[in-house]
Structure 1
Amino acid sequence: MSGRVIGSVAALAETKIPDSGVCVVNGYTFIYSGSPSQLLSKSAYGAAVCLGPEATNAWKNSGAQWEAVSSRLVTVRIECRPVPITIIAVYAPINPSNGVKNDIETCDEFYKILQATIDKTHKSDMIMIMGDFNARVGVEQANTAGGTVGKHAIDKQNQNGRRLVDFCLFNSFIVTNTFFPHKAVHQGTWMHPKTKQWHMLDYILVNRKFRSSVQDVRAHRGATGGIGTDHHLLRAKIRLHLKCRRKAEKKYRLRLDQSKLADDCLLSAFQIELANEIKAIRRDNKTLSVNEKFTNFVNSVRERGRHYFGNNKSIHKGGKEWFTPELKEIVDKKAKAYVDWQLHRSTTNENKYRNRYRTLAKIVQNKVYARQHEYWEELSIDIENAVKVHDPTSAFQIIRRLRGNGQSIKHIPVQDKNGLTLTNSKDQLNRWKEYFDKMLNVDTTINEQVLQQIPSPTVDDDELSRQDAVPTLDEVVKAIGQIKNKKAPGKDDVPAELLKAGGHYIAEWLHEIIRDVWEQEVMMIFL
C-alpha cells in the first residue's frame, strides 16, 4: 500500500446505532458513534464513517485512529502520504423553530463540540466534514461569505445555514457543494414532505487550502431506494495536488467612462500629457526600432487613458455590484463578533458576545435585502431614462450585464426546409451542413467571351506615384476619424475613443510609426 490512494470513504448520518465501536462487513469497516444503549429512544441520532477495503488498509496501517466524540460526531484519521486526512461525520440538529430556546441551545452546543473537535485536529491535515447539517445556505451568502460559499447554492439561508457559514469562515472551510454547476436534480439532497421542494441539507466541507483538490461534488439519486433513506447520496471526487498550479495572468480590457470622454478639461490634460510623453521618448531614445516605438505608443496611450477616462466603478471581486463598502464593513463586524463569541465560550461573558453576534447577523440580513431592492430600483430607472433619451445602446448594455452570458447555441432552435423544428442533434448538424453547402457552393456558368470583353483597368503615372508615396498626416487623421466608436479594439487593446481623444498628438505619433514601417518595410510584432 503506497498510501497515495485511500479508495472510498463514506459518512453516514442518523444511523440510530447505539453505543460506539468498529465492525467489519464484507471488507468494509464501519466506525460508528451513537447514544448509549440505556438511553436509546426514537430520537436517537448517530453518525458513522464507512471505509472501503483500500481505505481500511490505509487506516489500519496508520494506527487505526478514531474517536466517538458524541452521538452526533465521529472522527477518523488516516495518515496517508503525502497528506494525512481527517474525516468527521456529523448529524446536526434540525433548524431551530422560532423562539424555541431548547432548539437554539441544542444547535449552539453541537457547533461548540464541533469547534472543539476541529481545535484538536492536526492543522496540516486535509479535513473533510461530511454529513447532514440540516442547514440551508443561500445564494446571497456567495457574495457576503468571502469565498466560503459558491454561486451554485439553491436555497434561502436559515438559522442553521448562518451558523454553518460562520463556522466555515472562522475555521477557513469551504462548502464544496456550492462550487460546482449541476442540474437541479443533482444539487438537492432532501425533499420537503409538504412542499415537495428539494433542498440542499447535506454538505461536504473542506479546509480552504485544499480547494483545488476537490474535483467535483454532486448528488446521486440511485442510492436512495436501495438503502431506505429520504436523503440522496452526496459524492465528492478528491485528488490531491502536490504542487501549486499557477494561474495565467488574466489581462483585463480597458473600460472607458463615456461621460469622461466628453469632458473638455480631461481631454486637454490627456493631450498635454501625451505631448510631454512624446518629447521625453524622442529625447531619451533617438534610435528605437519600429516595435519599440509602437510598444511605447500603446503603453502610454493605455496608461494615460485609464488614468483620465477609466471606469472606476469597481465591482466587488467574486461578488455583485450591489455589494457596497458599507455592506462589507458591517459583514466584517459580524464576522469579528462571531470570532469574539467563539473565543469567550464557557465564560461569564458568553451571552453578551452571542447576543451581539445575533444582533449584527440580523442587521446584515436586513441591510442586504434593502440594498438589493434599492439596487434593482436604480437599474430600472437607468434603463427607463436611457430609453426616454433614445439611447438604446446604454439600455441594452445594462440588460446584457444583468442577464449574464449570452444564449447557448445548444438551445437555439434549428428548422428544416419545411419549417419544422429539429430536436435531434444529429439532424441539426446535417441541416447546418446542408445550409452551408447550398450557400457556399453555388452552381455558376462562366462565359469566357463576356470575360474577354471586360476592359482592363489602367492607372496613370500620377495615381501610381500617389500610391507609392509615404502616407501623409492628413490621411492618418482621416483614417482615425473614420473608425467607429464602441467597437472591440484590436490586439493592442487601444479603443478608437482614445485615438480620437488624443487629437493631433496621437495622429502625429502614429504617423511617425506608419512612416517607419513604410520606409523600412518591416512589420510590427504583437506579443
Structure 2
Amino acid sequence: MSADSTASALLFETPSYPPLRRPPQARLDPSLSASPPAIILSAYAPTLCSTSEVKDQFYEELEAKIRQIPTKEQLFLLGDFNTRVGADHDSWPRCIGRFDIGKLNENVQRLLELCSFHDFCLTNTFFPTKPHHRVSLRHPRSHHWHQLDFLITRRSLLNQKPRPRINTARTAKPELRERFARAIDEALENCPAGSASRRWNHIHEAMYQTTLDTFGRRERKTLCAARKDAQRIARCCANDYWLNLCQDIKHAADLGNVRRMYEGIKKASGPSTIKTAPLKSAEALENTPPLPVMDELDVPPTIEELKKANGSLASGKGPGSDTIPPEDVKAAKESSLLGHLHELLLQLQHLADRVYPEAQRAFRAARSTNDMVFSMRQLQKCREQRQPLYLAFIDLTKAFDFDMCGTVQFDRSCSEPFQIRNVVKQGCVLAPTLFGIFFSLLLSYAFRKSDDGIFIHTRSDGGLFNLARLRAKTKVKRVLIRELLLADDVGVAALRQHCSDSLAVFQLLAQSLASPLV
C-alpha cells in the first residue's frame, strides 16, 4: 500500500473550553489490489462540560467532512467521542451491537443520529470481547469503567465475507493431487514474462483459485469444534492423572511407605539425565583430516534442489499474506509451478549480484571472511607510510538476524506487530539476500556524493614486488577502498577524521527505517 495523506484540522474556540485540534486525514490507496481506497479520520469530540453550540459546531463540521468522501470508498472514523452509548441495541439495531457496556450520557444523541443518517456502526459493540477490553476510561470519582473510544465505519463493511481458506486435509488424496497438477499447468500457460511483481501476482491468483477449485474450502466450525473438544479432553486427562498421582504420594506418606512415596515423586519429576562431554586432545585434533572445499555450494540452486526443499516443507503451518498454505505448494511438485518459482529465485540472485558492491563478502560465491581480513591488514600499512587511518565500525542492531517483528493473519486482517525473539534459522539464504540488497542500496545512497576513503594504485602486469612500476602514469588503476562489508556489519575506512557528513546521512536513513546504529 502507498499512503497519500493530506492534513486537515478542525478548530473550536470558545471562552469556556480550550481549542480542539483535529488530527489529519489519511487516504490509503491499495494500488496492488482491487479494493477501493480507505479514508481514515481521527476526531476528538467535546466533553460534557462544553456548551451545546460547541457540540453542534463539531458535528456540523464532521458532517461536512464526511459528505466530501465518496460512498464507494471505505471510511474509518477513529477517536475519543466522549460518549457512552449504552446497550440499547433494540432502539438502534443498525448502529449499536449487542456487546456494549455501561449506560448512555447526554452526548449520545448527536453521535447516534450521525451514524443512523450515514448508515454507520460502532464496531466496538458488534464483537464479543472480554469485559476489560470493552472499556477505555475509569471515572476519577465513581471509579467506574466506561467506553469512550470508538471505531466507526460503514455498516456494509461488516457484511463482507473474508477470503475462504483452503481445505489442506484433502491434499493427501492422490487423485486430487494429479487433478491439481494438470489444472495448475493449464493456469500458468499464459504467465506474463515481464516484471517479477506482475509475474508473482499472476502465479499467486492462479494458484489460489486452482487450489480452491480442486481441494475446496475448509469448514471452520467443524475444525474449531473438534480442536476445542480435543483440548478439553486432553486437559481433563492431564488433570486426572496429576490428581491421582498426588493422592497416591500423599497416601503412601500417610502410611509410612517411603519406597512408594519416593517412586511417586520420581515419576512426577521425570527421569534424571546424565550429561557428559568428551574431552578432545590436541593430538586428536591434529590427526583429524581436513575436509575438502565444497565448491558446489557456490553454484546457483537447481530445480532438483528446489523440489527437495519443497518436499521438506513443514505441514500444518499457517499461510502468510498470500493465503497459500504449504500443503498446496507441496502438492504442485509435479507441475510447472516450481519452474516459475525457480526462475524468480534466479532473478533475485541475479539482482543481488548486480547490486552487491565488491566489498560484500557474506553469502556470495567465491568470497569469504579471509578477504576482509587480508584487506584490513593491507590498510594497516598506512601507519608504515606515516599516514593516519580512521575506521568506523557500524552494526545495525535491528537487522535480519535480531529483533524482527511479525504479525498474525486471520482471514483478511492482520494483528499488531510483535517482536520475534528467535533469530533467522541457520541455512536461511533468502532473508540475508534480501537484506543485502537493501543494505547495499542504502550505503550507495549515503556515500553517493562522498570521495572519502583510501585510494590504492595497482596494476596487473609485471613483477609483483616491482614497486617502481606503480609510479607510472599509465596502466595504473586507482581503486577506492571505503566499505568493508560482511552481511549486516560494515567498516568504513578513511584517511581523515572529518568525514562525518556521509555517516550522518547514513544514520538518518537508518533511523528513518527504525534501525538504530551501534
Q: Same fold (TM over 0.5)?
A: no
Taking structure 1 as the reference length, the TM-score comes to 0.29
Taking structure 2 as the reference length, the TM-score comes to 0.30
